Amino acid sequence: METKSFFSYDIKNLKGDIMGGFTTAIVALPLALALGVASGAGAKAGLYSAIITGILSTLFGGTPAQVNGPTGAMTVVLIELYEKFGAEALFAAMLVAGVTQILIGGLKLGKYIHLIPQPVIVGFTNGIGFLIFLKMIPYFETGPVVALITIAVMLLFPFITKKVPASLMALIVGTVAGTYLLPGGELVGAIPSGLPQFTLPSFPANQLVDIIQSGIILAMLGCIESLLAALVVDEMTKTKHHSNKEIIGQGIGNTVATLFGALIGTGAIVRSAVNVNAGGRTRLSGILHGIILLVITLKFAPLASQIPLAVLGGILMGTAIKMVEYSATRKFTYASKRAGSVIIVTTLLTVFSDLVIAVAAGTLLSMFLFVLSMGEVYLKQYPISIKGGKKVASYTVEGPLFFGVSNAIASKLEIESEDADIIVLNLMNMPVMDSTGAIAIKSIKQLLEGNGQTLILAGVKEQAGKLLTKLEVISDEDLQISSMRIKDVLSHIEMNMVNA
């Protein structure tokens, strides 16, 4: 299960890595062009993003078979930053993002990125798909028919064959249509030739706070998307990535890319899957993908200048349509209405608010709904029959009683036990209790007493007993009874009722 070092190369992987690198470069070419133009930084910025991050992030990252480059999710944020702050602040924010990622990986915080719930990720991905589609409408309007032809090829060509990338075929068909059949639309325009020049971004004082905030957002987004892609690669190759090393590699690639006027990138799920399916298994495939793109860029950049903007817009619109996770959304919603609500809320916030707010709110909503479900699962009622005339209800807490489930259990207990005279709460299966749980029991006890009901505890263990007596939830005398098994407590209650 261990990943291999690039420097201990197994020659048996050579053919697969060459095929993976070449195939992925062909897939990446139209997407890099489209994402670069869409971001506002230009086609060359997208191409060199795929080249630089494709080489460096792969070389220093923790997922050997992963392919890196500009992606739709990241580009949506870059578009917004460009429109809001301009190119100067955009590149400054991207440099902050790259350095931040190096720090996150260096501080070994990568493992915490995986704590984001899957419904939040699905909703976030859906929202990104909708955003990309909406952002591409201006490009669509430069040549609607050409754009529709391109979208159609993107969506339908995979049904004909998957051996040729749909994005490449869409680029060819759309460009031919826009050049010879329906000319007149806006073109990409001249792409500067030659290698990019080193440029240190400036940090305008009046935008410094916005730059830092935006850089941190970009860093977090890049970490999330890269580690998600790494999980996909793990599943396909039966290997295991190194989270912190992967984030450091992303940071190095993105820092260098920014310093040479290119966009930052992330691990790309689609391109990584293409690489693995073509036989790529080591860092060589990702590095070859970058080198091949470099050759294409240096030799054929003038041809790219003649591509209609409507074609690039159509490619990204087609990508956005395929990006929305229809199947996962349907399955989650069918399995759990709560998961479905998280997906919907996260999707809507991603489209209409802010990406960070969307992820944060979706995660908090998932936690809240999980707490509610924990309260339902943790408290189980067991039917009992006791002589004496009074109605007794018995419940068992199945798990730790902590701040997260206390209120949910209290609410359920209040509703379900309203007809009982005596409520027995068995804590035998409760391994641990915190102070909030103890106070919750005290509140339940006071509430039930106010309703003329009595709460009796059973199966209280030593740790919980000390906490309950210190917080004056029960007395030392009551603790003797509460420490007994549920069977003995019920017998004690029955005997007292018979004697009464």
* pLDDT at residue 444, as a whole number: 81
**CB-based contact 54:286 (threshold 8 Å):** yes
**CB-based contact 261:91 (threshold 8 Å):** yes
344 band by pLDDT with thresholds 50, 70 and 90: very high
Chain-wide mean pLDDT for the chain? 87
- Write the pLDDT tens digit of every residue in 185-201: 888 887 777 889 999 99
- Write the pLDDT tens digit of every residue in 291-343: 999 998 888 888 888 899 999 999 999 989 988 889 989 998 888 888 999 99
Q: What are the start-end ranges of the H helices in 260-282?
A: 269-278
The tokens describing 216, both together, are 């941190």
Q: Is the pLDDT of residue 406 over 70?
A: no
Phi (first) and psi of residue 458, to 5 degrees: -145, 155
**CB-based contact 427:458 (threshold 8 Å):** yes
Mean pLDDT of all residues in 455-461: 90
The C-alpha atoms of residue 460 and residue 454 are separated, in whole angstroms, by 17
* pLDDT at residue 97, as a whole number: 97
Strands 422-426 and 392-397: parallel
- Write the pLDDT tens digit of every residue in 31-89: 999 999 999 898 999 999 999 999 999 999 999 999 999 998 888 889 988 988 899 99
Domains of the chain with CATH codes: 11-325 (no CATH), 383-499 (3.30.750.24)
Helix, strand and coil percent figures for the chain, each rounded to 5: 70, 5, 25
11 versus 61: the higher-pLDDT residue is 61
The tokens describing 29, both together, are 């070419």
What is residue 384's three-state secondary structure?
coil
Sequence-separated (6 or more) residues with CB below 8 Å from residue 314: 136, 139, 140, 146, 147, 148, 149, 150, 151, 154, 170, 174
* pLDDT at residue 407, as a whole number: 67
151 versus 225: the higher-pLDDT residue is 151
Q: How far is CA 127 from the centre of its chain?
A: 12
- Write the pLDDT tens digit of every residue in 255-303: 999 999 999 999 998 899 889 988 999 999 999 999 999 998 888 888 8
